[in-house]
Amino acid sequence: MANNMYLYLIFIALLLSDCYFINGLTGSLKKGSNSGVQRIKCNEDEEDINTSIDQIRSVINDTFKFYDNNLRNISKMIHNYRETAYEEYKSSKLLVDFLEQEGFTVEYGIANRSTAFVATYGNGDGGRTVSFNSEYDALPVIGHACGHNLIAIASLGAALAVKEFLNETKLNGTVKLFGTPAEENGSGKLDLINGGYYKSVDMNIMAHPSRYSGAFIPYRAITKFEVEYFGKSAHAAISPWNGRNALDALILAFNSVSALRQQLHSSYRLHGIIVNGGTAANVIPDYTKGIFMIRTPTVNELLNELKPRVIACFIAAANATGCQVKITEKGLNKDVKINSILGNLYELYFSKVQGVNSSNILSKYEQREISSGSTDQGHVSYVVPAIHAEYSIPTENQQGPHTKEFEKAATTEQAFQETIKASKSLAFVAIDFLEDDLFAKNVIDEFKLSSSSSSSTTTTIPTTPSSS
């Protein structure tokens, strides 16, 4: 299978050079004219079911030209709405109304989430189903500093292009656009998974604005804890011996976690804050609260290695100070299991859309060295073949997501243009998956192999909020 994958990618690279194309691995290679490249038959008596690359490119470019103003306006409106997790009423309705207007069948308020939706457009009977995710929740206070207004239109544009391709070619197939709320402080995609909505698709791809470009940037598994300590109050000067200091317990927990870092792999992350440290300096606190997040490259490492050691720190701090501790886990996001065949093809198309001399995709080694965050797309990647690609947008002082500079950059013309390039690349990949049986088989085979060999622990994932 590996050899087939590499051969396939070589042929795709030739395709993107505007010189050659091959239909599957058993056909003959043929040089095309300067005006374009034609997909050819494997056998002379075989029906030519594939579409020329020029036709695909034409459909995609025409689609984005036609919907240019719509995509701009939708992005700006979502950015201005600044709606946070599970409160994205205007943003979701804006997308739903537009999708219905464009002929999609939309289910709104799915998975017991009023701002979640799935939009479906199909042609004929049978065929494969491709899907994309639109995100549209903002961060508290800082707004769309993660560029979800751009993610919304990147997936929307790709879905529109695939729909137009299905209309023009009459190919059997289906495209779905999932509206996934609460990526920042929840898990809209997990809600949809638990509702069974991803069972109907064969793959799922999306792209996220960032400081970098590539499809192999790792996203860590994450979980969050609320840690509460209960002690006994007393006057700090008159009778401190009558108290049990809950603040001492919380500080000791922080110090223990900090000491633990020395023995952890450099790819692990631990961070936290004190949200309640007492009320008066002369009163021994009887209640304190902290919030901690922990991250690892894989969910297996998170559940089996780091989580037990961190919880041991919380419990030990309570024992040492004579306090009681309550530990509440507030949700978990799995790491993103990147489908390399989808990722490689996305990068090839993105390079072509960017232009030969302007592609800024990092090498796979450089991507894997990036210290990244977490996303609920990780859950999706354990259910269907998936990628969570990134594309760079220019920002002041080269600041990344979750900064005021990134929030401002998410409305610029440059950011819009880079989003359209990413969106076109998503559309190209999805169309190849719909048309090319060998490519689709390789994608699915890799997913099955990675799923069967995965050592991740099966666990029930809470649906309470997590954060990226």
Quote the CA–CA distance of 13 and 29 in Å, as a whole number: 13
Rounded to the nearest angstrom, the gap between the alpha carbon of residue 326 and the centroid of all alpha carbons in its chain is: 31
Judgement on whether residues 72 and 189 belong to the same structural domain of the protein: yes
| Cα separation of the two ends of the chain | 35
Quote the CA–CA distance of 289 and 229 in Å, as a whole number: 6
Is 19 in contact with 32 (CB distance < 8 Å)?
Answer: yes
Judgement on whether residues 60 and 205 belong to the same structural domain of the protein: yes
Whole-prediction pTM value? 0.84
Per residue of the chain (468 residues), what is the pLDDT tens digit?
Answer: 555 555 555 555 544 444 333 333 323 223 233 223 333 333 334 344 467 888 999 999 999 999 999 999 999 999 999 999 999 999 999 999 999 999 999 999 999 999 999 999 999 888 999 999 999 999 999 999 999 999 999 999 999 999 999 999 999 999 999 999 999 999 999 999 999 999 999 999 999 999 999 999 999 999 999 999 999 999 999 999 999 999 999 999 999 999 999 999 999 999 999 999 999 999 999 999 999 999 999 999 999 999 999 999 999 999 999 999 999 998 899 999 999 999 999 999 999 887 754 568 999 999 999 988 999 999 999 999 999 999 999 999 999 999 999 999 999 999 999 999 999 999 999 999 999 999 999 999 999 999 876 644 444 444 344 445
Provide φ and ψ at 120, rounded to 5°. -130, 135
What residues contact 193, with CB distance under 8 A and at least 6 apart?
379, 380, 383
Domain boundaries, position 369? 53-211+338-453
Judgement on whether residues 272 and 132 belong to the same structural domain of the protein: no
Quote the CA–CA distance of 153 and 78 in Å, as a whole number: 10
Judgement on whether residues 11 and 118 belong to the same structural domain of the protein: no
Report the CATH number that the domain containing residue 416 is assigned in CATH.
3.40.630.10
Quote the CA–CA distance of 460 and 95 in Å, as a whole number: 31
Judgement on whether residues 165 and 27 belong to the same structural domain of the protein: no
Cα 136-138-144 angle, rounded to 5 deg: 95
Asked if residue 307 belongs to a domain, the reply is: yes
Asked if residue 385 belongs to a domain, the reply is: yes
Asked if residue 109 belongs to a domain, the reply is: yes
User: 105-116: per-residue pLDDT in tens?
Assistant: 999 999 999 999
Quote the CA–CA distance of 186 and 465 in Å, as a whole number: 4
Asked if residue 156 belongs to a domain, the reply is: yes
Helix (H) or strand (E) holding 175: strand 173-179
> Which residues on neighbouring strands pair with residue 276, listed in sequence order?
289
> Which residues on neighbouring strands pair with residue 295, listed in sequence order?
222, 269
Quote the CA–CA distance of 372 and 393 in Å, as a whole number: 16
Is 341 in contact with 11 (CB distance < 8 Å)?
Answer: no
Domain boundary among 271, 299, 333: 333
Quote the CA–CA distance of 436 and 53 in Å, as a whole number: 12
Closest of 221, 211, 218, 148 to residue 376, by C-alpha: 221
Asked if residue 183 belongs to a domain, the reply is: yes
pLDDT reported for residue 256: 98
Domain boundary among 309, 333, 357: 333
pLDDT reported for residue 51: 72
pLDDT reported for residue 19: 39
Is 434 in contact with 127 (CB distance < 8 Å)?
Answer: yes
Domain boundary among 316, 333, 350: 333
Judgement on whether residues 413 and 370 belong to the same structural domain of the protein: yes
Judgement on whether residues 60 and 203 belong to the same structural domain of the protein: yes
What residues contact 460, with CB distance under 8 A and at least 6 apart?
none
If one counts every other C-beta atom within 10 angstroms of the C-beta of residue 238, the result is 9
Asked if residue 468 belongs to a domain, the reply is: no
Range 338-359 burial, b when 16+ CB lie within 10 A, else e: bbbbbbbbbbbbbbbbbeeeee
| Region of residue 106 (left: phi > 0; alpha: psi -120 to 50; beta: else) | beta
Quote the CA–CA distance of 97 and 329 in Å, as a whole number: 37
Judgement on whether residues 283 and 359 belong to the same structural domain of the protein: no
Quote the CA–CA distance of 434 and 59 in Å, as a whole number: 15
Asked if residue 392 belongs to a domain, the reply is: yes
Judgement on whether residues 202 and 345 belong to the same structural domain of the protein: yes
Is 144 in contact with 82 (CB distance < 8 Å)?
Answer: yes
Quote the CA–CA distance of 385 and 171 in Å, as a whole number: 22
Judgement on whether residues 107 and 24 belong to the same structural domain of the protein: no
State whether the Cα torsion 73-398-429-454 is positive or negative: negative
Provide φ and ψ at 338, rounded to 5°. -75, 125
Is 99 in contact with 165 (CB distance < 8 Å)?
Answer: no
Tally of domains in the chain: 3
Helix (H) or strand (E) holding 152: helix 148-169
Cα 461-131-223 angle, rounded to 5 deg: 20
Cα 207-339-16 angle, rounded to 5 deg: 70
| Region of residue 367 (left: phi > 0; alpha: psi -120 to 50; beta: else) | alpha
3-class SS of residue 207: strand
Helix (H) or strand (E) holding 197: none
Report the CATH number that the domain containing residue 302 is assigned in CATH.
3.30.70.360
Tokens for 156, please give them: 């929307």
Closest of 424, 442, 440 to residue 16, by C-alpha: 424
Judgement on whether residues 259 and 321 belong to the same structural domain of the protein: yes
Asked if residue 464 belongs to a domain, the reply is: no
Judgement on whether residues 42 and 68 belong to the same structural domain of the protein: no
Q: Is 460 exposed, middle or buried (0-12, 13-18, 19+ CB in 10 A)?
A: exposed
